[in-house]
Amino acid sequence: MDRKFIRTESSEITSKIFGAYDVNARMIEKEWGVNVVNRGDGEGDGIAVSGNDPESVAAAARAVEALLEMSAYSEVLTEQTVKYVIDMVSGGQADELSKLGDDCLCITSRGKPIKARTVGQKLYVDAIRKNTVIFGIGPAGTGKTFLAVAMAVKALRDKQVGRIILTRPAIEAGEKLGFLPGDLQSKIDPYLRPLYDALFELMGADNYQHNLEKQTIEIAPLAYMRGRTLDDSFIIFDEAQNATPEQMKMFLTRLGNNSKAVITGDLTQTDLPDGQKSGLAMAIKIISGIDDIAVHYFTERDVVRHKLVQKIIVAYDKYEKEQERRRQEHKNAMQKKNNDRRKDDA
C-alpha cells in the first residue's frame, strides 16, 4: 500500500478541497482508484491519499496539491474545477496548472472578482495584455467574449483607453431580421444581447447606462464600423466567424492610435450562407504571423459553463470528424470507380 500526505493549514481548507458532501474527493478516488481521507491527527491537518498503485497515488496527490494551491485564490472549488484539474494531471500537464494564480482581472458590480479559471484562459488574458490585435478562437462556453469584455472594462477603469467598442455581425441563425418587431435598433438588439449581458454583470446596469449615454461605451453592428478610425479604444469583435473576408478586412483596418482589438469566434459554428468563406478563417491564415498579433486557441477543456457543455462539444466534434471521414471515403471510392472505368474504356 502506497501513501502520500498533503498538509493543509486548517480543517476549513481541507473541507474546501473535499467539497460539499466530499464530492471532490470522490471524483479523485474514482479517477485513480485510490482512497482520499481527511487526516487531522499527529501529522496535523491534511489529506491522505493511499492506494496499491504508486503511480495512481502520485497522480491523485498531485491533483490534491493543485486544488490546495487553487484554494488560496478561489472562493469555491467546484466539480468543474476538479474535473479540469483531473484532466490536466491525467494528460501530463500538471505543471501548467502553476500558471494559474491570484490574477484578478476586475471586480464586478456585485463585488465578485473575475479571474482566469483555466490555463487556456490565463494564456488568453496574457495575450490580450501583450498584443495589439488578438484572435480568440474556440468553442462556446470558454469565456473568450466575457474575458475580453472584462479586460476592456479594466482598461477603461485604469484610463488606458477612452472608450469601449463592441461589435458583431447581424447574421441570423435560423431566423430572419424581418420577422422581429420594431425599428432597426430593436431588430439588432437580440444579436448584441450577449455583449449587453457581460457589461451589465461587470459594470452594473446604472453604470453601464451612464457610460452608454456618455458614448464611453458603444455597441453596434459590424456595418456601422465602415469608414471610421477607432482611436483610443478597446474594440471587441464578437462572433467573427460570421464575417465575410471583406468585412474582416474592413474591421481590421479601422484600428487607430492607442487602440486594442480582440476578435473572438468559433469556426465550427459559422452561420454564413453555404459557399461563403469565413473572414475569420481567412484572416488567421493571412495575418497571424505579423508581430503584435496573437492567435489563441481554446479547447473543450477551457469550457467553464455547465459540465454537460463540454461533453456536448466533444460529442459534436466526434460526430463531425466521423462524417468527414465518411465523406472522404465516399470521395475516394468514387474516384477509384472513375479511374477503373477509364481503364476499361481504354
Tell me: the pLDDT tens digits for 318-333?
777 788 788 888 888 8
In which residue are the cell numbers 493549514 written? 9
Q: What is the mean pLDDT of residues 91-117?
A: 82
Task: List the one residue out of 135, 79, 154 whose CA is nearest residue 286.
Answer: 135
Hey, which of 32-41, 100-109, 298-307, 318-327 has the most confident mean pLDDT?
32-41
E strand segments, the chain: 2-7, 35-41, 44-51, 104-107, 113-115, 133-137, 163-168, 217-221, 233-237, 260-265, 293-297
pTM of the model: 0.77
| pLDDT exceeds 90 at position 280 | yes
Distance of alpha carbon 259 from alpha carbon 271, whole angstroms: 29
What whole-number percentage of the chain has pLDDT above 70? 89
Q: Which region among 44-48, 189-193, 261-265 has the lowest average model confidence (pLDDT)? A: 189-193
What is the pLDDT of the chain when averaged over all its residues?
Answer: 85
Instruction: Give percent of the chain with pLDDT exceeding 90.
Output: 42
